[in-house]
Amino acid sequence: MYKARIIGTGSYLPEKILTNSDLEKMVDTNDEWIITRTGIRQRRIAADNQATSDLALEASKKALITAGLKPEEIELLVVATITPDMPFPSTACVLQAKLGAKNAVCFDLNAACTGFIYGLSCVKQYLQMGTYKTALVVAAETLSSVTDWQDRNTCILFGDGAGAAVLRREETQRGLMEIYLNSDGNYQGLLNMPAGGSRIPATENSVKERLHFLKMKGNEVFKIAIQSMIKAANEVVSRNNLKWEDVKFIIPHQANTRIINAVAKRVGVSMERVFLNIHKYGNMSAATTAVGLDEVIREKDIKEGDLLMLVAFGAGFTSGACLIRW
């Protein structure tokens, strides 16, 4: 049976580090408060001359090296992002030119923090149906460009980064096993960026009112995030007649350690098997699970046949989980 198998991963984090101590000088907050409420100690921030496609490029290069492929061998290129270089053309097309993936069909995908899982799901269908043989999925964000650095409740949370995965159609039992996706637009008002689209085009007023920055109702998001991640993770486990002890590592969206701890506790998984890097990078939206997967593969003792799970939630609201047999 044909599977979409991940044959290479890569990630890139900008050099600039923004610590909690740095934030203390910018807004009314402190290191202890941030760590206690979020688990974040620092985050990476893109340089002034770096856009999302630049971060995506570096992650893609690493993934291709790991896969042992050249850019022109990529037939499908999907970029998951909520911070594109510009509204159009797609960041995927911009990345295609920079990378030299001249034979790829390219498009962007917006599912917020669940974007990498949505991207994997999309590519899985194309590969397993035989439309394409080789694909590149990239999740990249420069959230610092849409963060309101005067808002103490949100500016502590977000960082920039990119992760990438190369997938190939192979006759194997390894690869993407099961993907569960869900969306509920009834909650779209809890986490969004109000202006910059057709609803509220850019005007002098929209800029003055700071409507081009991310807005979030934290308490409401917190509750729904836990519920949606538990549902997604349990769904994937049950569909495959597995027990939680069968999954070697869970790589959750890195939004808040309290959310991650609550999900792990509710499904009965030890935190030893839950991967965390939020303390280093903060919330990188779609890039968190992509970067997490790359770091797990490179840093942990992952063997052929091990089961890994990605699980996330995001604005929309979207949620999803992906089971991978390595």
Catalytic residue among 20, 256, 277, 283: 283
Round to whole Å and give the CA distance between 27 and 189.
25
Catalytic residue among 113, 122, 155, 322: 113
Is-catalytic flag, 113? yes
Burial degree of 248 (CB within 10 A; 0-12, 13-18, 19+): middle
Round to whole Å and give the CA distance between 59 and 292.
13
Do 49 and 42 form a contact (C-beta atoms < 8 A)? no
Do 302 and 296 form a contact (C-beta atoms < 8 A)? yes
> How far is the CA of 284 from the CAs of 110, 241, 256, in angstroms?
14, 32, 11
DSSP 8-state symbol, 123: H
Is-catalytic flag, 253? yes
Catalytic residue among 106, 122, 155, 253: 253
The alpha carbon of residue 318 and the mean position of all alpha carbons in its chain are separated, in whole angstroms, by 12
Round to whole Å and give the CA distance between 312 and 170.
26
Please state whether 196 falls in left (phi above 0), alpha (psi between -120 and 50) or beta.
left
| Strand residue runs (E) in 198-272 | 215-216, 249-252
Please state whether 16 falls in left (phi above 0), alpha (psi between -120 and 50) or beta.
beta
The alpha carbon of residue 142 and the mean position of all alpha carbons in its chain are separated, in whole angstroms, by 12
Do 70 and 40 form a contact (C-beta atoms < 8 A)? no
Question: Of 45, 56, 43, whose CA–CA distance to 85 is shortest?
Answer: 56
Q: Is 101 helix (H, G, I), strand (E, B) or coil?
A: coil
Which residue(s) pair with 220 in the sheet?
none
Just list the catalytic residues. Answer: 113, 253, 283
